[in-house]
Structures are given as C-alpha cells and as structure tokens.
Structure 1
Amino acid sequence: MTMYVWDYLSEYEREREDILDAVDTVFRSGRLVLGESVKGFEEDFAAYQGVDHCVGVDNGTNAVKLGLQALGVGPGDEVITVSNTAAPTVVAIDGTGATPVFVDVRPDDYLMDTEQVASAITHRTKALLPVHLYGQCVDMAPLRRLADRHGLVILEDCAQAHGALHHGRPAGTMGDAGAFSFYPTKVLGAYGDGGAVITHRAEADQALRRLRYYGMDQDYYVVGTPGHNSRLDEVQAEILRRKLTRLDGYIEGRRAVARRYEEGLADIAGAYGLVLPTTNEGNTHVHYVYVVRHAQRDDIIDRLKGYGISLNISYPWPVHTMTGFAHLGWTEGALPQTESAAREIFSLPMYPSLDQARQDRVIEALREVLGTL
C-alpha cells in the first residue's frame, strides 16, 4: 500500500461523529448561505487570532485577491512577493490587475529575503506580500519599517501558517491583513475549499464583506468596486468551527512528528548531505510540511517509490519560470536561491495523525536510500 505525504482518513474516523453532526446542524438550520455557522466561525477565528475582524471566503486564492483589493491594490500597482510559493499566491495578485514583483528567498529557510525588498520598491509599489511558508513566519519587522516609510500596505499569506507565532504574535496579525486557506491539507483544513481574511482595519472588513458578495452592501445593489461570488460555504464553516477547537492539538501533533524526524535523521543528515528544516529565532513553527533538501532529490524520490512511499515537492517550479507568467519578463537565473531550492527540496509525510510506526517506515527507508547513494 502506497504511503503519501498527507492522509485524512484516520483523523476522520476519530472525528466522524462531530463532522457529520456539523453537516446535520447546517442542514437543519434553515439557512444554507451566510448563516449562523459562517458568522460563528468568523467570530471564533478572529478571537483565536486576536484580531477585530474575520471575513470568510470561498478559498485561499480569493482570500489573497480580495484581501489585496480591500487594501486598495488594483491595476497599475506592483506587489512585492516571492516566487517560491504555490502559484495561487501570484494568480491572486494577477487577478487584481496588479503586477507581481519577485525577490529571492533565503537559502536556509526558503522564506522571503527581506534584505532584498527595499531595492525592489518603485513608485508603483502598493503592497508587500510575505508568504509564511511551510509553517513559520517571515521576519516581519523590516517589512513593517519599509511599509511605514513608503506608505505601503502589507498582506500576509498565511495559507501554511495557522497558529504560527513570530515573537509571540500570530501569523496574519503583523501586517494590515492576513489571508488564510482552509484547503483540506492545511493545518486547519476543511472538507473542501474555504478561506478567510483577518484584519484590524474596520474599513478593510467592510470592503471584504462587499467584495465577497458581488460588491453589494445590500441585496441586489452593487456599490463601489464590483466584487465576486466568494462566500464561505456554511457547511465548511461549521466543520471549521468545530475543528478550530482542536487546532492547538493538531499543531502539537505536527510538532511531535517533526521531533521524531529530527531524532531519526539528525545523526546521518550531515554525512549524507541531507538538510533538515530549521526554526528561526522568535518563531513558533507549526510544520505544515516537513521540507528537507538533498542534491540528489529526484533519485531519492524515485527510489522511495520502491518502498511504497510517494513524496511531494513544495515547489518544483518557481512561479517566475512558469510559462503562464512569461508575460512578466522574468528569466531563469534571476532568483538563484529560489531556483536552487526548487531543484533539491522535497517533503516528507506530515500530518498530525501520522502514527509512529508509519513514520518509522519513512525514516528507515530514507536512511537506507541515503546509504546507497
């Protein structure tokens, strides 16, 4: 039986009664769209994050897109971000009519190299979009200083960082708004698509509520900027509301898995060229994925298939090298750290219900493969 980087079935078996009750609660409520479950989840998630406002939307991509629009980003603007991210980050920027501008990442943690941001700012720059990748936060202090100096807004991409902290502050609360995805694989995942934007800014909250509902502030009447049909589904909201009460437990489960990898691989990593993930000072890592690095990545992945282990790469193609973004004019070699990482990184299985026996199977197989290279 093939083992994959993510699996939800064992978790579902444990939580099945509550999940099905959540569905039944919505179906019996008499309100299937923007009802009490969406309202309740928005209030609960805002409280968990320690912010004033949370607006549920239909997916993480639109959380980024609508978040940018609510902060005033539009055609003719530039948004500084990274190419080492899931394509939806950049798809969302493109969807606002703004132009994504890339800076490279750091070689040790693959996060935005904040020292490169200042030189990327132009008179068209409107926003900074750091991506809190793999479960830990970008260094936000220098970005905040740059934003304040140049009059920019900051939208944090928190799709992989639910519950992550940076010097005690939750991901998504250090900029002007934070965008979250609740895709099933996420640290807080739904049983389908979902997303949300959190903010302290009342005007952004009001704009988001219009934008997710066609641009309406009342039935059938569009004001300001026309919006989208981007409402968080009532069933997914109720499931997320239940799962939010277990989020801290999910995070601790992920940390336990990360500790077992460290214990099982640290003694051979250096000798065999395997680079294990690090946690930056001041960060609380939630380990959305467990990303390791090796110069013979592709060979390792192929050999592990013989052990029934199928691994993932997050991400094999930097966004700036994709043909879909050729119109931006970036070429290979422009972001050397990003491109180097894309050739060597890969993810080991990571989810809170990963039991020790299955994880040991991964560790032993990887040790054996490394020993034959």
Structure 2
Amino acid sequence: MSLVPRHVLMTTDAVGGVWTYALDLAEGLSARGVRITLAVSGPAPRPAQRRAAEQIEGLTLVDAGGTLDWLADGPRPLDQTARALRGLAAQNGVDLVHLNSPALRGDEDWGAPVVGVCHSCVATWWDAVRGTALPEDFAWRTERLAQGYRRCDRLIAPSFAFMQTTAARYGVLPATVRNGRRPIGTRPVPRRRQVLTSGRLWDEGKNIATLERAARRMRGRVEAAGPLEGPNGQSVHLDRIQALDALSPTDLQQRLRLASIFCAPSLYEPFGLGILEAAQAGCALVLADIPTFRELWEGAALFVSPQDDAALAVVLDELLEDADRARRLGRLAAERAEQFSLEAMVEGTLAVYAEALAQRAPFGEAAA
C-alpha cells in the first residue's frame, strides 16, 4: 500500500482564506502526481475563482452543495452535506479525504482515511473576540466540531499557537503544518506612504474597528481591501479608512507592491495568509501582539496591542515617515516569508497523509 494517496477528496468553501489554501495545496499535490477532487460547499465560487481552479492540472472542481458549519441553522444541514460528500468519495474511489471543515466528519465511515484541518472554529473565535460564555447557538457547533475532531484519523493546525489553542479547547493534538504560498516574482517599484490591510473586513476577529479608530488619529492614509459584508449578515462601516472592496489576486498584489506598510490588528488569527502575501511583497508589517503573530513574525515585524488604537496610530505614522526603517522591515518580512513555502506545506501535509494511510492499512501493507 502506497503512503502517498493517488486521489484525494478535498472540501473547501469559496468565502475566505480556506479557498486560497485549498488551491495552493492542490497545486502542490498535483505536482506530486496526486489527483484532487475539490468539493465546494456554501456560496458558489465566483467566475475568477473557477478559472483559477481550472488552471490546476489534475484538479476537478465539484459544486457539492450544502451549507457551511458556521452558517448552518442546526445539525441536520451538516448531516446532509456530509452524506453528499461521502457519496462523492465513494463515487470517485478516493484514497483519502481532506476535510477543511472537520465538523462534517460525523460518525459514518467515509471508506478512506480522513484528515481534518483546524483552520478556525467559533469557540476559539469567541474566546478571543468576546471572552464570555459561549452563546447557545455556538454551543452545538462546538460540540459538532469536537465530535469531528475526535473522529478524524489525523488533524492539522496551521501554526503551533493555534495547535495549542485547539488542544486546550478540544483535548486533541493536531500536527503543526504551517501554511505556505508560492511567491509571485515582482520587480521593485517606488512605494507609497500608505498603510494597507486586507481580508474579511466584516469579521470582528479581524478587528478592523481598532484600525478605523487609529486611522482617525493618523496623518497618513489607510486602505482596506476585502468585503465589508459577510454571508452571515455581519458588516463593518469604514469612514476614515478608504475601502477598496474585494480585489482580484492580481489587483491585490499590485496594491501590496505599492504600500509601505501592511497592518493586521487581528484579535483572532490561526495563521494569516494575507500577512504572508504582504511579507512576500516586501511590505513592512505592523501586527497585533497575539501569540500566532509572535510565533510566525517575531523579529520581522512591529507588534502593538490589538486594543490600543492610540499606540497603533503612533506606530503607523512614525513608520510612514521613516522610509528607510520601513524598507528594512520589509526586507526582514520578505526573508521570513521564505520559510513559509508551498513546498514545505506540501511536504508536511503528505507526512500527515502517510500517517493516516498507515493507520488504516491492514497489518504489513504499510511496509509494502
């Protein structure tokens, strides 16, 4: 029995960073000869997203239907989504299932090893953002995810900090495989004295409200790329920050190449792909002082308390006015970003796949 799967069913959504993660990983796995059936639940991919998926050799994109765990109004829709995905796994005869939403695991047999990825969860989000007892609507989602975590053959977390958070909350021990991206080569261009942020701006965990308050105190310009409204009805209003709405990957890369500083004031972030993209583009990083960002960017970024908008405004204005320091920090960020490569993510993921396959192999086959 080979410990490299020939065909993987991978689940995803098209709402945020999981989509980017899934396409990057699928591209890397395809280069290793692994076929990917990418099953999308929740809101349908946009035309540009479909085109990006269709460019990956060995990837088949499937609209699986169903809902996302954090949008479902109860367990039954998740049961229906999981049933459809199990049917897809059986229909395609896959060797391994990669769940980017482990709440879909359930108790049923999927006919292949199941690896779940701990991208985020409502309970740890609530702990970081609100810090109070979980509301009833979050309680059943948390129990559903806990069940999924326990039933997966292996789990992956994108940072050591989030592995610890997940272990403390759920009593499981994911492997740490940091996210990675293939850098897009760009020629140096003069940078503008401005700050850029990006991501799901409507998500309270991104803490854009603190950056908005900081921007009101600042002399410098702040721009934000990303949706202001989410599929769950959440929204954010920006006054002082210039809202750019959702940009295409090409347009966002261009903005990153021009911005002096990238700021992420997040209260909650299991990894932060937007920060990695900014670092690859050579932006100076100003980040919230939270464990994930310290782990990944210590020595290559400036850190500010995510609750202190006054201090954030001072740090951003001072850095905008010190172009030499901003360039030095940008170089440090770019050098650090090289550690988070697509190749390293693929290697780490394949190692976890091998463990899951070996666990399911009949005695003696794993050595064959």
Structure of higher RCO (CA pairs closer than 8 Å, 6+ residues apart): 1
TM-score, normalised via structure 2 length: 0.33
